[in-house]
Amino acid sequence: MKKLRPIMFAGTGSEVGKSVIATAFCRIFLQDGYRPAPFKAQNMSLNSYATAEDLEIGRAQAVQAEAARLECHTDMNPLLLKPASDQMCQVVLNGRPVGNQSAGEYFGRERREDLRREVCAAFDRLEGLYNPIVMEGAGSLAEINLREADLVNMSMAMHAGARVILVADIDRGGVFASVYGSVMLLTPRERQYLAGVLINKFRGDMRLFEPGVKMLEELCHVPVLGVIPYYDDIYVEEEDSVSLRYKSRHATAQGDGRVNVAVVSLAHMSNYTDFDVMERDRRVHLYYTDRAEEIRKADVILIPGTKNTLYDLSELRRTGAARSISDAHSAGAAVIGICGGYQMMGLEVSDPYGMEGDLERLPGLGLLPVVTRIGDVKLSRQASFSFLPSGGDCAQGYEIHMGQTWPEPGTAPSPLNRLESGAGEGFFLNSRCFGSYMHGMLDNKAIVDYVLAPYAGKVSAGNGEAFDHASFKDRQYDRLADHVRSHVDMQRIYNILSV
Q: Containing H/E element for 80?
A: strand 79-83
Establish whether 339 is a catalytic residue.
yes
In a domain, 467, yes or no: no
Report d(CA 434, CA 428) in Å as an integer: 5
C-alpha to C-alpha distance for 122 and 74, rounded to whole angstroms: 8
Of the residues 73, 329, 401, 439, only one is catalytic, namely 439
Domain identity same for 297 and 157:
no
Shared domain for 445 and 383, answered yes or no, is yes
Determine which one of 73, 268, 339, 487 is catalytic.
Answer: 339
State the distance between the two ends of the chain, measured CA to CA, in whole angstroms. 15
Same domain, 61 and 123: yes
Residues 313, 220: one domain? no
**Angle between the 59-67 and 469-485 helix axes, to the nearest 10 degrees?**
80
Task: Report helix angle 18-31 to 59-67, nearest 10.
Answer: 20
Is residue 251 in some structural domain? Answer: no
Same domain, 231 and 364: no
Give me the pLDDT at residue 109, please: 67
Whether residue 455 is found in the same domain as residue 479: no
- Is the domain of 315 the same as that of 216? no
Q: Give 10-residue mean pLDDT values along the chain (499 residues).
A: 95 94 98 98 90 93 97 97 81 90 70 91 98 96 90 96 97 95 96 97 94 96 97 80 52 82 94 89 93 95 95 96 96 97 97 89 97 92 87 83 94 95 95 97 92 90 69 94 98 94
pLDDT at 433: 98
Q: What is the pLDDT of residue 246?
A: 53
- For residues 91 and 227, membership in a common domain is answered with yes
**Are the C-beta atoms of residues 488 and 228 closer than 8 Å to each other?**
yes
Q: Are residues 433 and 480 in the same domain?
A: no
For residue 32, give the 3-state DSSP assignment.
coil
- CA–CA dist 125, 294 (Å, integer): 49
| pLDDT confidence of residue 223 | 97
Which residues face 163 on adjacent strands? 7
Same domain, 313 and 194: no
Please confirm, yes or no, whether 439 is among the known catalytic residues: yes
**What does the pLDDT read at residue 247?**
57
263, 131: one domain: no
When divided into structural domains, the chain yields a total of: 2
Percentages helix, strand, coil for the chain (3-state, rounded to 5) are 35, 30, 35
CATH number of the domain within which 166 lies: 3.40.50.300
pLDDT at residue number 390: 60
> Distance (Å, rounded) from C-alpha 416 to C-alpha 436?
7
The residue segments making up the domain with residue 153 are 7-236+475-498
CA distance linking residue 212 with residue 219, whole number of Å: 10
Together in a domain, 479 and 453: no
pLDDT at position 249, please? Answer: 47
